[in-house]
């Protein structure tokens, strides 16, 4: 979340509330109109709304309220709050550099008991975890490559993978398009040049080269200026990262390292010739 994007939100909500009173002078503003201006502060303090909204807690409370209880008001809520606070305090102690040795021993035991299986896997230089959790780069069998991939990397055989998980990003998977089309859609910096804008493409192959995992990607073809295709209506909304592209993917493959990938994107078919590309990058 950038300062410019948060400021754009505040400008838009101020315009909305101001025009609301201008168009409907008799309308009385509600407390939520005032509260909406404080979202600007939360965006700067905590990031995007999805990072701090309370819907998961509200759903949890609804579930707990339907559980059998003694109907003594306050006891269930107090138990929930005290348990949450104790857990938060313990996590804070475990994260401190001056954590006492006795508590540090507890951290080792808790890590062994509750850490995810992915944390125990070997991670390569690009932060990639093996797809099946058992094989590290360099230990899989070589297979014959399709001709288009041979032409790209100049080899007739290599290790191919269906998908990989990025260790540094929680819940981020990359897949070839034949395995999972959604996880194959990535925004990447051409040749790793981060001074340029990331471009959309679809992963056709995931292969191993000298111990590193790389992608063979087909770019999403830019939208051409034809009468049958609409103008990019999203250009007027700079803070909504959507853009129109051609539905056609380029035939040429290009090599992309995982460190060049900015994130995933969503693709929706607007017509047979045009798609909407929406960035899902976590910025």
- The parent domain of residue 27 ranges over 3-51
Is the pLDDT score of 234 beyond 60? yes
Residue 16: predicted pLDDT: 93
Is the pLDDT score of 174 beyond 80? yes
Same domain, 172 and 241: yes
Last residue of a domain, one of 72, 97, 114: 114
Whether the Cβ atoms of residue 9 and residue 43 lie closer than 8 Å to each other: yes
Same domain, 44 and 60: no
Same domain, 62 and 170: no
Last residue of a domain, one of 114, 133, 159: 114
pTM: 0.63
% of the chain residues with pLDDT over 90: 36
> Per residue, what are the HEC states of 138-204?
CCCCCEECCHHHHHHHCCCEEEEECEEEECCCCCCEEECCCCCHHHHEEEECHHHCCCCCCEEEEEE
Last residue of a domain, one of 87, 114, 141: 114
Residue 120: predicted pLDDT: 46
Q: What is the pLDDT of residues 52-67, one digit of tens each?
A: 777 777 777 777 777 7
CATH number of the domain encompassing residue 255 = 2.30.30
Same domain, 265 and 130: yes
Kindly report the average pLDDT of the chain as a whole number: 82
Element (H, E) at 222: none
Least-confidence region, from 48-57, 107-116, 127-136, 265-274: 127-136
Same domain, 40 and 65: no
Same domain, 60 and 104: yes
Is the pLDDT score of 15 beyond 90? yes
Q: For residue 107, give both structure tokens.
A: 């951290």
Which of 129-138, 200-209, 231-240 shows the highest mean pLDDT? Answer: 200-209
Q: For the chain, what is the domain count?
A: 3
Same domain, 192 and 225: yes
Residue 167: predicted pLDDT: 58
pLDDT average, residue stretch 115-134: 49
Same domain, 17 and 76: no
Same domain, 254 and 199: yes
Same domain, 194 and 233: yes
Q: For residue 203, give both structure tokens.
A: 């992963």
Give dist(CA 110, CA 256) in Å, integer.
38
Q: 41 or 99: which carries more pLDDT confidence?
A: 41
Residue 47: predicted pLDDT: 78
Same domain, 85 and 40: no
Give dist(CA 146, CA 143) in Å, integer.
10
Angstrom distances, CA of residue 93 to CA of 82, 83, 110, 111, 236? 17, 16, 13, 14, 48
Same domain, 142 and 229: yes
């Amino acid at each position: 979340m950038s300062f410019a994007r948060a400021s754009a939100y505040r400008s838009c909500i101020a315009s909305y509330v101001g025009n609301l009173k201008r168009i409907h002078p008799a309308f009385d503003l509600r407390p939520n109109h005032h509260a909406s201006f404080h979202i600007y502060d939360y965006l700067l303090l905590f990031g995007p709304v999805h990072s701090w909204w309370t819907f998961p807690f509200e759903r949890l409370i609804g579930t707990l309220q339907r559980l059998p209880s003694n109907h003594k008001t306050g006891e269930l809520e107090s138990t929930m709050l005290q348990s949450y606070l104790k857990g938060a305090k313990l996590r804070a102690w475990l994260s401190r550099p001056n954590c006492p040795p006795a508590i540090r021993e507890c951290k080792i035991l808790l890590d062994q008991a509750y850490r995810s299986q992915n944390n125990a896997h070997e991670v390569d230089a690009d932060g990639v975890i093996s797809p099946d959790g058992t094989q590290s780069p360099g230990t899989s069998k070589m297979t014959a490559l399709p001709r288009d991939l041979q032409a790209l990397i100049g080899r007739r055989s290599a290790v191919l993978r269906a998908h990989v998980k990025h260790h540094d990003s929680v819940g981020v998977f990359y897949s070839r398009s034949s395995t999972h089309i959604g996880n194959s859609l990535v925004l990447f910096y051409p040749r790793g040049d981060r001074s340029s804008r990331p471009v959309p493409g679809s992963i056709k192959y995931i292969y191993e080269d000298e111990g590193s995992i790389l992608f063979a990607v087909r770019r999403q073809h830019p939208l051409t200026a034809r009468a049958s295709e609409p103008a990019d209506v999203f250009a007027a909304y700079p803070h909504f990262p959507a853009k129109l592209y051609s539905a056609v993917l380029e035939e040429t493959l290009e090599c992309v390292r995982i460190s060049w990938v900015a994130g995933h994107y969503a693709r929706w078919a607007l017509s047979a010739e045009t798609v909407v590309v929406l960035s899902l990058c976590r910025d």
